[in-house]
């Protein structure tokens, strides 16, 4: 359990019992492509495992699923992050961008929204999986690409973006920053909107023996066994940016609440999206990490995940992901 540095948003104030609707339980929640012309068919030959599908391009590199359930989780978490950032696509002082790169575009939802809002800009989204829709704005293009391999985008973009990639999608941030620096036009910006797979709590409402804390510790161990990481280490990333040649580097700290406990309406909505995405996405986030990374059975994993879900739904626990 961690507390993150103070940020411009400040600590999140929790709702008092008087703020909670009488219809809510005080202790819990009610149960209420892109064109395929240049792609080989093997790109779509997804791996199947325990009822989930995984990408085929660079098979086995990314440990999360790419099926409909996972796509729904990504879209839900997109809205949570958007609300945490104050309904902004990005924080960098970019005005009237002309060319934008979205690395690890996933379902393409961020790229589509940005392309709609900046019709004069060319937007490119890259990912390992061709799961993006075909009906997209005319200024948007999706490509299948591994960001851990050399890019072919010299001096092309004025903004490069990642979101929720962490170290289990980007294997080497120093390499990423070298490639992003070369891909940017003079004066361009790179921005990483990342959260850490660990639970923060500022008011002591999360116990030290919590199932969520146990899950996060085990999940990070499993990811590390793949040679990856679920941590961001923002100050280290800042140093790696500067080593690649970037200037005016800044770290902004936010809290991505889990559940509807914040008093602030925007953050309460962000917490609801985050909770829904987490409850449904836990199995996909955990499956390969626990079975292949830690050697657990699916049954053992699901017992822990049931405990994690129960705790996440407890309105009395004021937890968040550091972002």
Domain extent for 311: 33-322
Mean pLDDT comparison of 18-22, 45-49, 122-126, highest-scoring range: 122-126
- Domain for residue 9, yes or no? no
Q: Report if residue 86 sits inside a domain.
A: yes
Would 38 be classed as within a structural domain? yes
- Average pLDDT taken over every residue of the chain: 84
- Mind listing the pLDDT tens digit for each residue in 249-306? 999 999 999 999 999 999 999 999 999 989 988 988 888 889 989 999 999 999 999 9
| 170 located within any domain | yes
**How far, CA to CA in Å, does 219 sit from each of 171, 212, 307?**
17, 10, 15
Q: Is residue 255 included in any domain, yes or no?
A: yes
C-alpha dist (Å) from residue 208 to 14, 201, 214, 260: 20, 11, 9, 22
Q: How far is CA 134 from CA 36, 60, 66, 224, in A?
A: 10, 25, 17, 35
* Total domain count, the chain: 1
Where do we find the tokens 């064109």?
A: 35
> Six-digit token pair at 304?
């822990």
The model's pLDDT over 126-175, given as tens digits with 9 standing for 90+, comes to: 988 777 888 899 999 999 888 989 999 999 999 999 998 875 678 889 99
DSSP 197: S
The domain spanning residue 162 has which CATH number?
3.40.50.150
Structural domain contains residue 25: no
Banded model confidence at residue 74, pLDDT cuts 50, 70, 90: confident
Residue 287 lies in a domain: yes
> What confidence tier does 55 reach under pLDDT thresholds 50, 70, 90?
very low
Whether residue 33 is predicted with pLDDT greater than 80 in this model: the reply is no
* Confidence class for position 16, pLDDT limits 50, 70, 90: confident
Instruction: Read off the pLDDT of residues 162-214 as tens digits, 9 standing for 90 and up.
Output: 998 875 678 889 999 999 999 999 999 999 999 888 899 999 999 999 999 99
Residue 111's Cα: distance from chain center in Å? Answer: 14
Among the residue ranges 67-81, 273-287, 309-323, the one predicted with the least confidence is 67-81
Does pLDDT of 9 surpass 70?
no
Higher pLDDT, 18 or 226: 226
pLDDT of residue 143: 93
Residue 22 lies in a domain: no
User: What is the pLDDT confidence band of residue 28, given thresholds at 50, 70 and 90?
Assistant: low
């Amino acid at each position: 359990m961690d507390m993150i540095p103070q940020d411009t948003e400040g600590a999140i104030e929790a709702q008092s019992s008087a703020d909670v609707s009488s219809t809510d339980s005080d202790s819990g929640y009610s149960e209420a492509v892109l064109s395929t012309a240049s792609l080989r068919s093997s790109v779509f030959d997804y791996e199947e495992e325990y009822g989930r599908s995984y990408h085929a391009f660079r098979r086995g590199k990314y440990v999360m699923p790419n099926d409909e359930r996972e796509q729904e989780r990504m879209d839900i978490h997109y809205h949570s992050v958007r609300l945490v950032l104050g309904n902004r696509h990005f924080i960098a002082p970019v005005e009237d961008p002309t060319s934008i790169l979205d690395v690890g575009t996933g379902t393409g939802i961020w790229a589509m929204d940005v392309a709609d809002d900046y019709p004069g800009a060319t937007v490119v989204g890259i990912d390992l999986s061709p799961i993006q829709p075909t009906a997209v704005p005319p200024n948007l293009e999706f490509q299948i690409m591994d960001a851990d391999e050399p890019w072919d985008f010299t001096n092309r973009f004025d903004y490069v973006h990642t979101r929720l990639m962490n170290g289990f999608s980007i294997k080497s941030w120093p390499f990423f920053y070298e490639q992003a620096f070369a891909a940017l036009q003079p004066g361009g910006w790179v921005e990483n909107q990342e959260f850490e797979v660990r639970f923060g709590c500022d008011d002591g409402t999360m116990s030290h023996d919590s199932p969520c804390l146990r899950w996060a510790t085990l999940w990070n161990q499993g990811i590390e066994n793949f040679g990856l990481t679920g941590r961001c280490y923002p100050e280290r990333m800042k140093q790696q940016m500067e080593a690649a040649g970037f200037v005016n580097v800044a770290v902004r700290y936010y809290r991505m609440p889990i559940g509807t406990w914040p008093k602030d309406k925007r953050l309460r909505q962000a917490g609801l999206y985050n909770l829904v995405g987490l409850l449904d996405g836990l199995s996909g986030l955990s499956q390969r990490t626990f079975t292949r990374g830690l050697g657990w059975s699916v049954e053992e994993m699901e017992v822990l995940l049931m405990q994690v879900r129960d705790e996440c739904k407890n309105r009395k626990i004021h937890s968040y992901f550091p972002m």
